[in-house]
Amino acid sequence: MESESPKLHMFFFPFMAHGHIIPFVDMAKLFAARGVKITAITTQADAPLFSKANQRIKNLGTQIDIKIIKFPSVEVGLPEGCENVDAITNSGQPSSESIMKFFEATVMLQEPLEELLGKYKPDCLVADMFFPWATDAAAKFGIPRLVFHGTGFFALCTISSMMLYEPHKKVSSDSEQFLVPNLPDEIKFSRKQLPLSMKQDGETFLSKLFKEMGASELKSYGVIVNSFYELEPAYADHYRKVLGRRAWHVGPVSLCNRSLEDLASRGKQASIDEQECLKWLNSKEPNSVVYVCFGSVANFSSAQLMEIAMGLEASGQSFIWVVRKDKKGIPERSVADNSRHGDAYNQRVDHNPYEERANSPHVEHSCFSSSNHTKACSTELREWDDMPHIEIFVAI
């Protein structure tokens, strides 16, 4: 009898933030379910996210191997145990210096990654876009590196054109609109809509990082995108045929979770009774509850949160609002008080499946995952305008 061919072996290496790790976990489950051997490279603090996934897929007869590397937080001047962006954003007022130190620490992960690549010789490395050095690290061992982007083709095409043509440097004021060249649609921005790193003169830490990311992507074997062709066919084709990039769309990867329990296990533990919340949702008419979430990194002041709370209550609309656990000054609501307080229900939980039950308009931080997710769930989306290219994508 002929011996079985060895399994394809892939290393997955996500950036240390929940918005990056969760789609990596979903993707790992997708590949593992198709017979691929998956090894996740992660830190001690983030390992439980992969361990929970293993609990959910053990009935499939496969597991995700987990290799833990030490995150050098103390070496760069961060507190001991600061291994995830959450640890910085939860600190009250995160500084740009802390964020820079965190990224400096990730660069120091190249050596332990190379040790693992040399020892286990995987067939390929799928590394987060924020690890531009991973392409060269994999090349040392003849291992192809794939870049994982949490965003979609529209954003990738727009950012590439912005960096190549720099149209924002050809207008006379921050409010004057400019056309982003060489895109399938007429896309316009003003300088005031751009991130600070793009508007600043000279090279900054972030502008340098993004240049390194672009160069690393060009040298890599290709790009994996958490999107699907039918969502943005013109931009998927543009990215491949016009920009000449090798890319595969594998999303929405969240659809690998077939049950509410699978979805609920992906992020942090809910701080409310999940069944009580689902009972409340089931008491509402379809398409009547608005899901409000600004992401786990956004850091609003208590005064800002109070304004949002007052606006939501004044709307008279039933809603579920995802709020960070450490925030104070928000009026508490219970299901019993629900009818006396504008039919409001304040939900303190970071990642969960309740938006599917709400099945109605979303108000979210404008990351691509929210656009991707709402399209997959056939729900309406209103974006919080901190990433205008995503807002424009939703509009077109």
| Rounded Cα distance, 8 and 123, in Å | 6
Query: Are 248 and 224 spatial neighbours (Cβ–Cβ below 8 Å)?
Result: yes
Residue burial 345-380, b: 16+ Cβ < 10 Å; e: rest: bbbbbbbbbbbebbbbbbbbbbbbbbbbbbbebebe
Is 20 one of the annotated active-site residues of the chain?
A: yes
Query: Are 260 and 251 spatial neighbours (Cβ–Cβ below 8 Å)?
Result: no
> C-alpha dihedral over 376, 383, 155, 388, to 10 degrees?
170
Cα–Cα distances in angstroms (integers) from residue 135 to residues 79, 120, 127, 364, in the given order? 29, 17, 8, 33
| Rounded Cα distance, 182 and 187, in Å | 10
Q: Which residues contact 305 (CB under 8 A, 6 or more apart)?
A: 323, 327, 329, 330
Is 237 one of the annotated active-site residues of the chain?
A: no
Query: Are 377 and 356 spatial neighbours (Cβ–Cβ below 8 Å)?
Result: yes
Nearest to 117 by CA among 99, 95, 133, 101: 133
Catalytic residue among 20, 168, 351, 362: 20
| Rounded Cα distance, 46 and 22, in Å | 10
* C-alpha count within 13 angstroms, C-beta hemisphere, residue 247: 28
Catalytic residue among 128, 262, 343, 350: 128
| Rounded Cα distance, 52 and 28, in Å | 12
Query: Are 356 and 287 spatial neighbours (Cβ–Cβ below 8 Å)?
Result: no
> In which order are the strands placed within the sheet that holds 65-68?
65-68, 37-42, 9-13, 124-128, 145-149, 222-225, 247-249
Annotated active-site positions, please? 20, 128
